[in-house]
Homo-oligomer: A and B are copies of this chain.
Amino acid sequence: MDGREFRKLGHELIDWVADYRERVERLPVMSPVKPGEIRARFPSEPPQAGGELARALARLDVDVVRGITHWNHPSFFAYFPSNTSYASILADVVASGLGVQGMSWQTSPAATEVEEVVMDWLRQMVGLSDAWTGVVHDTASTATLCALLCAREKASGFSQNGAGLQGLEAPLVVYASKEGHSSIEKAALLAGFGKDNLRLVETDEEHALRVDRLEAEVAADRAQGRVPCALVAAIGTTGTTAVDPLAAMAALAKQHGLWLHVDAALAGTAMVLPECRPLWRGVEEADSLVFNPHKWMGVGFDYCAYYVRDPEHLVRVMSTNPSYLKTAQDGAVKNYRDWHIPLGRRFRALKLWFYLLDVGVLGLQARIRRDLANAQWLKEQVDAAAEWERMAPVPLQTVCLRHVPKALLGDEAALTRHNLELARRVNESGAAYLTPSLLKGRQMIRVSIGAESTERRHVEALWRALQQAAL
Contact = CB atoms under 8 A, between A and B. Distances in A.
Given A71-B99, A93-B92, A160-B195, A51 B6 contact: no
A39 B94 contact: no
Interface in A24-59: 30-31, 33, 35-39, 42, 44-53, 56-57
Nearest to A171: B166
A269 interface: no
A358 interface: yes
List the 9 shortest-distance A-B pairs measured between CB atoms, nearest first.
Answer: A164-B194, A67-B110, A84-B99, A17-B97, A192-B192, A10-B14, A50-B360, A46-B121, A182-B320
Interface centre among A47, A149, A166, A190 (most CB of B within 10 A): A166
Interface in A227-261: 238-239
A324 B446 contact: yes
A466 B97 CA distance: 29
Contact of A358 (B13, B52, B109, B438): B52
Contacts of A360: 46-52
Given A7-B14, A64-B114, 17 more contacts: A10-B89, A10-B93, A16-B94, A17-B97, A33-B110, A37-B109, A46-B356, A67-B109, A71-B108, A84-B99, A99-B301, A160-B190, A160-B195, A163-B197, A164-B165, A164-B195, A182-B343
A344 interface: yes
A165 B64 CA distance: 43
A61 to B, nearest CB: 11
A90 interface: yes
Given A106-B69, A302-B346, A358 B15 contact: no
Q: Give how many copies assemble into the complex.
A: 2
Contacts of A99: 71-72, 82-84, 89, 300-301
A273 interface: no
- What bracket does the count of chain A residues touching chain B fall in? 35 or more
A471 interface: no
Given A94-B60, A121-B46, A341-B341, A109 B322 contact: no
Contacts of A192: 152, 159-160, 164-166, 191-192
A47 B324 contact: no
A164 B11 contact: no
Interface string A69-106: 11110000011001111111110111111111100011
Contact of A3 (B18, B96, B197): B18
Given A14-B11, A64-B114, A324 B238 contact: yes
